[in-house]
Chains A and B, each alone.
Chain A
Amino acid sequence: MRFLRSPRAAPFLLLLPSIVVILAVVAVPLVVSFWTSFTPYNLTRPATLYDFVGWRNYRRLMGNSDFWWAFGRTVVFITIALNLELLLGLGLALLMNNIRKGERTLRTIMMFPMMFSPILVGFMFKYLFNDAIGLVNNALFDLHIISRPIPWLVDGALANLTIILAEIWMSTSVFAILLLAGLLALPKEPIEAARVDGCNPWQVFRHITLPFLMPFIFIAMTIRSLDVARAYDMVRIMTNGGPAGRTELIWTLMVRTGYQNSQMGMANAMGYVSILLSIFFTVFFYRKLVAARSFMAGAQ
């Protein structure tokens, strides 16, 4: 009781509500799902929650080709999407940096996709890329580029392409906005000095602008890697893993296993793999961010 009145208790009391909420909604469920991943828990047979089967679920996952396909596709998907978003975002930021008139309006437009729910983006692209009535096919048709509809979401490879396009549309702005903020904060003197010394624009970009932007790039990457799993919403509404499992990502496979097949034990084992994947990406970029920041601090 006396501790609660002492000044040392103040930060503890201030943090208590946050800690309680995170414990209740994140920490305890994680323990539950960790335990569940070692049981054959099935929603239709509640008693199975208390059977301990060791690593059986994980061993089965390791031998399951569907799981490995979904896992591999997820990693490839994240890698392609993040890289293209970075490149396009950087390009857009460099373009916007040269615009002086109406830049506030343009910046607001750039923020549009950030307000959209992933499920909404999924719906939009499902509609735009519909093979019979979609805007894309209609436009290509009217321009006489194609004579028969392209089966965007019906063909496996094209469906993956469409999903990546949707992902890029949704998240390129995050990169563009953060990198634009970086460009606006870029000190002018080193660039002028380099120009006077006869550097061409590419050399200026490569040796001055880019190193300065590095921390901003890694912030964007860290923020983005926090919610890569948003892709679940999009895939859910666009293809739900189809056609024939060709767009199945680890998240859609997990939901199918858990809720549709009621195999909660197995689904939670997949859940742990997906959590580790997310943590890996976030920590990877966060460490680069810390390194880039200390490099910048050293340079200043």
Chain B
Amino acid sequence: MSGSRTIERRWQRWLIRAGVFVAMAILCIPGVWVVLTAFRPNIEVLARPTVWIPEIWTLDNFRRLFGFSSTQQGLPVAAYFTNSLVISLTSTVVALLVGMAGGYAFARYSFRGKGALFLAFMLSRTVPGVALSLPLFILWSRLGIIDTSFGLILVYMAINIPFTIWLTDGFFRQIPPDLSEAAQIDGCTRWQAFWKVEFPLARAGLASAGIFAFLTSWNEYALASQLTRTTASKTMPVGLMDFTAQFTVDWTGMSAMAVLIIIPALILTFLVQKHLIAGLTFGGVKG
């Protein structure tokens, strides 16, 4: 009796492992394949029969992107990359500061119309970027901030502020108000009490809000594709899309660019991955 049970258990355990293995393979293979493509020459991509593991490893595709190649004119990828970095980092930092102030207000004060205002912020996030791009295109053209980093930074701030408010509101509410009150009795101003007591405690929440904001801005395409025109403000996702229009079959070049898009996101996620799950579940469950 007990013998058959253990056999059954072992079977189950192997089934579970096999299932997890298959799932992980499906999650990994597309990314791995693109990375392999980025480091192989174009002949291997077109070769028959299929070359599974690159026989020739090369950095040519990256050289080509940055214009160091003699055979082909480079894409302005360096400019796209800088734009992406500047726009994403600025909008993330500013959205965090602005959103944190908002979240703090929702967590610590009661005022008239609080519920309605909170709902309004959240509803503003449900508007799809594509739909918003139409009027923004009209307005930004008339204001003269189309094709500027500033125009895009402003838009990404607006996208990230509601989510930051939602997350920080939850985190600040977890911190008992007594702590900052005690600090104020000890002679701190409310401002000092915030930076010395509440801010350090909410840092985990801010980290997850920050990474979500960064990833959203870094990966955004629908708005960027309409609000940018030239290398003055084009971001990496828009550049990747341009690639399809310019060279229909340059899979290796596009893969190299894809690798460049994923690396910063990968680094950032590894740095703060511990907080990521906490950030995602937190606000939602505790409400």
Contacts and interface: CB of A to CB of B under 8 A. Distances in A.
B125 interface: yes
Size range of the chain B interface in the assembly: 35 or more
A271 B281 contact: no
A177 interface: yes
Interface centre among B117, B162, B255, B280 (most CB of A within 10 A): B280
A133 B45 contact: yes
A180 B12 CA distance: 19
B85 interface: no
Contact of A124 (B19, B136, B236, B258): B258
B219 A8 contact: no
A178 B284 CA distance: 10
Contact of A18 (B121, B276, B277): B121
Nearest to B37: A127
Given A21-B154, A116-B262, A118-B219, A229 B129 contact: yes
B134 interface: yes
Given A14-B102, A29-B136, A127-B255, A237 B241 contact: yes
Interface stretch (B20-28, B56-64, B68-76): B20-28
Given A25-B136, A111-B273, A123 B130 contact: no
Contact of B134 (A169, A219, A258): A258
A146 interface: no
A75 interface: no
B131 A274 contact: yes
B218 A124 contact: no
B131 A10 contact: no
A90 interface: no
A76 interface: no
Nearest to A18: B102
B277 A181 contact: yes
Contacts of A98: 13, 16
Contacts of B254: 123, 127
Contacts of B46: 133
Interface in A62-94: 91-92
A106 B222 contact: no
A11 B280 contact: no
Nearest to A173: B27
B127 A120 contact: no
A107 B24 CA distance: 10
B247 interface: no
B135 A115 contact: no
Contacts of A229: 128-131, 222
Given A10-B105, A109-B27, A120 B98 contact: no
Given A216-B281, A237-B241, A275-B127, A22 B262 contact: no
Interface stretch (B179-187, B196-204, B264-272): B264-272
B287 A293 contact: yes
B192 interface: no
Interface in A243-262: 251, 254-255, 258-259
Interface string A132-143: 010100110110
Interface in B121-173: 121, 123-139, 154-155, 157-158, 161-162, 165
A36 interface: yes
Interface string A220-250: 0011001111001100110000000000000
Contacts of A275: 126-128, 131
B161 A274 contact: no
Given A125-B30, A219-B284, 16 more contacts: A14-B104, A15-B102, A21-B158, A22-B162, A33-B134, A127-B255, A133-B46, A182-B281, A226-B126, A232-B129, A233-B222, A236-B225, A251-B130, A264-B138, A279-B126, A293-B287
5 contacts: A29-B136, A36-B138, A112-B31, A127-B254, A251-B130
Interface of A: 8, 10-12, 14-15, 17-19, 21-22, 24-30, 32-33, 36, 91-92, 95-96, 98-99, 106-120, 123-125, 127-128, 130, 133, 135, 138-139, 141-142, 169, 173, 177-178, 181-182, 215-216, 219, 222-223, 226-229, 232-233, 236-237, 251, 254-255, 258-259, 264, 267-268, 271-272, 274-275, 278-279, 282, 289, 293
Interface of B: 13, 16-17, 19-20, 23-24, 26-31, 33-34, 37, 45-46, 49-50, 98-99, 101-102, 104-106, 108-109, 111, 117, 120-121, 123-139, 154-155, 157-158, 161-162, 165, 215, 218-222, 225-226, 236-237, 240-241, 244, 251, 254-255, 258, 261-262, 265-266, 269-270, 273, 276-277, 280-281, 284-285, 287
